Amino acid sequence: MYGIDAAAKQYFHTSAKKLTNYQASLLAALLPNPRYYQNHLRSYVLQRRRNAILYGITRMKNDKETRLFVNTLK
């Protein structure tokens, strides 16, 4: 499988645009070794990676400079 849209469809039966922050952070956490982690979705290490990514997403959404940058990309 290649690409975020393919991963979103396989794991969550949705498109990449419709992913929640939680779902997106889980997919990002899988990246170092998706074949291993797809069979270990409840792994402590994977959960910690997902939580760290989710925390980063939340902080970025609340950061004024990040919002300004994202708005320039639209």
Going from N- to C-terminal start, the domains of the chain cover 4-73
Using one digit for the tens of pLDDT, what is the confidence trace for 7-53? 999 999 999 999 999 999 999 999 888 888 878 888 899 999 999 99
Confidence at residue 63, expressed as pLDDT on a 0 to 100 scale: 82
70 pLDDT more than 80: no
Confidence at residue 1, expressed as pLDDT on a 0 to 100 scale: 63
H helices of 1-74, where? 4-12, 21-30, 34-37, 44-61, 64-73
Instruction: State both tokens at 9.
Output: 């469809």
Confidence at residue 37, expressed as pLDDT on a 0 to 100 scale: 81
Distance (Å, whole) CA 7 – CA 17: 12
User: How large is the average pLDDT for residues 58-63?
Assistant: 82
